[in-house]
Amino acid sequence: MAEAGITQVGEFHYLRHDPEGRAYADPDLLARRVIAAALRVGIRICLLRVAYIRGGAGVPLSARQARFGDPGMSAALEAVERLSRDLDPRVSVGLAPHSVRAVGREDLALAAGFHGPIHAHVSEQPAENEACLVENGCSPTALLEEVGLLSRRFSAIHLTHPLSGDAERLAAAGSRVCVCPTTELDLGNGFLTLDALRLPLCIGSDSHATIDPWLEARAVELHARGVAGRRNVMAPPGDRHGLARRILEIAMTGGAAALGVETYGIRPGAPADLVALDLRGPAAAGMPELEAAAFTASPAWVDRVWVGDAASSRAVVIRT
């Protein structure tokens, strides 16, 4: 990730028990190992501690799910509280109630009391919608709204199959969507709907089929073209560089906001996280810089990455 130009990861952290499903002596051992790995390579991490409580409505966790199960939301919230103590400035902790399939209504309502970043899979597949309609009489997004989870701190992951009114619910709450375009293609999930394009967006790698933020960001526009049957779907009218700027904002400032970073960009008080691209290659010849970065860049173009800390003036420089 660091070599691809990523300065902060939101790690959707599942794995926490031993292969038999038993807790380690330190129940947060694997979470701390993940945090240590991020710091070792020099990037920030927002550890999104997953709550996974059931296998579905009325279905207990299977033996294969025991390594990442919780007895209830209270256990997940206690883990978040433990992990939030004495943090390195480059580390933060969020909460990830996995989905309405893995977390029921009462536990979702408990999660709504958490005041940091909250991420959840939402309407990734039609079967999830159908099961939620049977159990709760509404869409997953409507259920999340009812229990108080939708807010500016909430990110809906995937949202490839929203139901009627879901985009409007997310927009009214100021929530965002984390789009995972290469994963959607890899899994055959589908495409982000055109209604959802007007929501605040960021990108995720999800199954890590590809670690390429440049590809993920422009794939949002390319998916939209396939759905709309036309080009330049996200282009602001009359702005020559607006589409390239929009693509890069999804990759950069959108991701920062989803992980609770309130001040970002090149401005006073923001983390000094910078990426230098080498635009001297033939693929960038004759292209405006923004368009080259948005439509052609790859991890091979990343020349140097700075991950700095505004509070301590500490910086890590990664040469690729």
Catalytic residue set: 158, 206
Vertex 140, ends 73 and 69: CA angle to 5°? 30
Separation between Cα atoms, residue 215 and residue 198, nearest integer Å: 20
42 touches 76 (CB < 8 A): no
Nearest to 197 by CA among 256, 153, 243, 154: 243
Contact criterion met (CB below 8 Å) for 9 and 178? no
State the CB neighbour count (10 A cutoff) for residue 265: 11
| Cα–Cα dist 42/316, whole Å | 6
CA gap 81, 275 in Å, rounded: 32
Q: Is 102 left (phi over 0), alpha (psi -120 to 50) or beta?
A: alpha
Instruction: Round to whole Å and give the CA distance between 230 and 158.
Output: 22
Say how far apart CA 203 and CA 248 lie, in whole Å: 10
